Amino acid sequence: MTDLSWGDTPSNQSPPFVGVNLFTSDRGLREAVEREGAGRAAANLELFGGATGSATAAELGRFANTYPPQLQNFDAKGRRIDHVEFHPAYHEIMAVSTAQGLNCSTWEHLLTDGVPKAGAHPARAAGCYMAAQMEPGHCCPITMTHASVAALRHTPILADKWLPKILSRIYDPDVAPVDLKDSVTLGMGMTERQGGTDVRANTTRAEPCADGTYAITGHKWFLSAPMSDGFLVLGQAKDGLSCFLLPRLKPDGELNGIRVVRLKDKLGNRSNASSEVEFDGAQGFLVGDEGRGIPTIIDMVTLTRLDCAVSSAGLMRQAMARAIHHTRHRSAFQKLLIDQPLMARVLADMALDVEAATALVFRLARAFDGSTEGEVAYQRVMTPVIKYWVCKTAPNLVYEAMECMGGNGYVEDDGFPLLYREVPVNAIWEGSGNVMCLDLLRVLERSPETVRRVVEEIDTVGARDTRLKAALDRIETLLAQVMRDHGLARSLVEQLALAQAAALLLAHAPEAVSDAFLATRLEGQWRSTYGTGANKMDVREILDRAAPEIPV
Ligand SMILES: Cc1cc2nc3c(=O)[nH]c(=O)nc-3n(C[C@H](O)[C@H](O)[C@H](O)COP(=O)(O)OP(=O)(O)OC[C@H]3O[C@@H](n4cnc5c(N)ncnc54)[C@H](O)[C@@H]3O)c2cc1C
């Protein structure tokens, strides 16, 4: 029948991709959670998957991004308030992720028996993977709040005061002094106008006060989530660059000398506020030792890097799942798009990267659980490697998925442009691509045996596959050259990521997936777009596994 009237059920259009349980519909995710030690959390994750994939959550996400935060510098009487106003949908989303414990779950043992729970990091990573699909912008304050504990622990007196408020699953958006709040969120300020990567060039000054606190004066060029209750900030003290905790408000409720100059007008990440701020003698509490600012804040930064990779993997999954969903319902030339050989090849090729990204981020999350030498080495070496590869692979994949959707993918109503605008940010903040490479070079310089240990772990599988063995040989060659030519570091990082992904897929994925991944990513003809470079591939099996497990 000819489809003439607007408003009737349109023919040949895919149904909305909502009401999809993001956990039960995602086989790769379920397997990764089980494999990496978080199987006990499956029932809880199923509930969270239902909430994050619901039609309500999709609406909240749309509102939070359609009506982005607004800065109000002054109240009606001209008093400085620097209040950031959000759409109520944003607060609802924050409450959903906070109730899941994404702001705190891996630290909760600190307030109970002190024994870390096995599988805590992979279980939280699974939550973050789904929360990013629900609405990615709010993950920034959630991530920073969770990660801040790693820095605050350097100063027990501060941890004693702040941890009970951070380790709460009740979201409290009130603007009030910390003591009066049920829970708090934290932000982080390192980047200044003259440089974000080279934080040693920070110009913000910290002058000691008689009461043992510091007066912080200067600026930050990027400070996300300026409505947070406190900020971990780098500033120059007498003994060098140091880390300080700046509460947003003083105990009497007055502003603590932190002026929000303006909000950034960003490409994406719209629901999240990012700002430029000035500090005018703000009261700061020293975290860690004076002059040890970078080592103090680096544990926090490392945790945020894990979250960037997890969130990008989640966005990849969401984009691919939507593309498969659409092409399963849309026909062209008398055939469903997914049955057109060219389209099927493109989708299957994308599915390989989603499999790899998921396997990598959950393996990395498990390393954060562990305290053995091997796991600590893995965490140190593979955090920059995996952040680099996953965050860099995601934008191209999301773009290709958008193309699979045709014109609908380019239109705001469908929500796809939100994914596309969001996805590059994870590669830029918390250490951009080259910075991840420099980080690996630092490990190689200081403790090459740490890298060797991780390569050996990959090698235990590699010996069984000639393609992986060849990749490991390439890694050996790069390792021998890279300290003389730092320009090779990207090649090394990429080869390490691909080899580790290949090893994980060989060990845990069906042969159709691992074989196609190795054939296209570790050998074969040069490829620059999805759907090329794959001479033979069991497209059907790869797609059956990747497709969201929902009724068609
Ligand atoms: C949306 C958003 C929110 C943000 N929120 C925060 C926040 O809350 N807190 C915060 O502190 N920062 C935040 N940032 C800042 C972010 O962390 C920085 O933009 C980032 O660290 C890069 O710093 P930069 O912009 O000064 O670039 P630069 O340091 O000038 O770097 C520019 C480029 O040069 C590369 N580069 C630098 N050094 C080298 C080298 N030696 N060799 C090779 N290449 C090099 C970098 O990789 C980068 O690609 C945010 C950024 C964005 C986009």
Q: 234 by DSSP, 3-state: which? A: strand
pLDDT at 371: 86
Distance CA 138, CA 520 (A): 35
Please report the sign of the dihedral spanned by the C-alpha atoms of residue 547, residue 548, residue 549, residue 552.
Answer: negative
From ligand 1's centre to the CA of 360, what distance in Å?
Answer: 24
Which ligand 1 atom minimizes the distance to the CA of 144? Answer: 8
From ligand 1's centre to the CA of 384, what distance in Å?
Answer: 15
Structure tokens at 550: 């929902």
Which ligand 1 atom minimizes the distance to the CA of 220? Answer: 11
Helix 341-369 to helix 373-404 angle, to the nearest 10 degrees?
150
- Computed on alpha carbons and rounded to an integer, the radius of gyration of the chain in Å comes to 24
From ligand 1's centre to the CA of 477, what distance in Å?
Answer: 30
From ligand 1's centre to the CA of 199, what distance in Å?
Answer: 10
From ligand 1's centre to the CA of 253, what distance in Å?
Answer: 33
Ligand 1 atom 42: residue of nearest CA: 434
pLDDT at 10: 82
Distance CA 258, CA 219 (A): 9
From ligand 1's centre to the CA of 429, what distance in Å?
Answer: 6
From ligand 1's centre to the CA of 430, what distance in Å?
Answer: 7
pTM above 0.95, yes or no: yes
pLDDT at 5: 61
Distance CA 169, CA 182 (A): 9
pLDDT at 4: 57
pLDDT at 150: 98
Which ligand 1 atom minimizes the distance to the CA of 266? Answer: 1
Q: Which of 509, 501, 510, 508 is nearest to 467 (CA)?
A: 501
Give every CB contact of residue 142 below 8 A, 6+ residues apart in sequence.
Answer: 94, 97, 98, 102, 103, 128, 131, 185
Q: Ligand 1 pocket: which of 140, 186, 197 to mutate (most atoms <8 Å of CB)?
A: 197
288: left (phi over 0), alpha (psi -120 to 50) or beta: left
* The 3-state secondary structure of 485-505, one letter per residue: CHHHHHHHHHHHHHHHHHHHH
Distance CA 139, CA 130 (A): 10
Give every CB contact of residue 525 below 8 A, 6+ residues apart in sequence.
Answer: 532, 533, 535
Distance CA 420, CA 322 (A): 13
pLDDT at 518: 95
Distance CA 344, CA 531 (A): 8
**Would you give the DSSP letter of residue 521?**
I
Which ligand 1 atom minimizes the distance to the CA of 191? Answer: 11
From ligand 1's centre to the CA of 512, what distance in Å?
Answer: 39
pLDDT at 414: 86
**What DSSP string runs through 185-201?**
-EEEE--BTTBSS-GGG
- 247: part of which helix (H) or strand (E)? strand 240-247
Q: From the centroid of its chain, how far is CA 232?
A: 19
Ligand 1 atom 43: residue of nearest CA: 434
Structure tokens at 91: 């607060």
pLDDT at 461: 78
Ligand 1 atom 16: residue of nearest CA: 429
Query: Per residue of the chain (552 residues), what is the pLDDT tens digit?
Result: 455 566 677 899 999 999 999 999 999 999 999 999 999 999 999 999 999 999 999 999 999 999 999 999 999 999 999 999 999 999 999 999 999 999 999 999 999 999 999 999 999 999 999 999 999 999 999 999 999 999 999 999 999 999 999 999 999 999 999 999 999 999 999 999 998 999 999 999 999 999 999 999 999 999 999 999 999 999 999 999 999 999 999 999 999 999 999 999 999 999 999 999 999 999 999 999 999 999 999 999 999 999 999 999 999 999 999 999 999 999 999 999 999 999 999 999 999 999 999 999 999 999 999 889 999 999 999 999 999 999 999 999 999 999 999 999 999 988 999 999 999 999 999 999 999 999 999 999 999 999 999 999 999 877 689 999 999 999 999 999 999 999 999 999 999 999 999 999 999 999 999 999 999 999 877 788 999 976 678 999 999 999 999 877
- Phi/psi for 83 (5° steps) reads -95, 135
| Diameter of the chain measured on Cα atoms | 82
From ligand 1's centre to the CA of 197, what distance in Å?
Answer: 5
pLDDT at 383: 98
Ligand 1 atom 29: residue of nearest CA: 197
Q: Ligand 1 pocket: which of 428, 436, 437 to mutate (most atoms <8 Å of CB)?
A: 428
Structure tokens at 88: 């109520």
Q: Ligand 1 pocket: which of 262, 277, 305, 429 to mutate (most atoms <8 Å of CB)?
A: 429
Q: Which of 232, 236, 252, 254 is nearest to 244 (CA)?
A: 232
pLDDT at 527: 85
From ligand 1's centre to the CA of 428, what distance in Å?
Answer: 6
- Phi/psi for 245 (5° steps) reads -100, 120
* Ligand 1, residues at Cβ distance < 6 Å: 187-191, 195-197, 222-224, 266, 269, 274, 425, 428-429, 432-435, 438
From ligand 1's centre to the CA of 432, what distance in Å?
Answer: 6
Distance in angstroms between the alpha carbons of the first and the last residue of the chain: 22
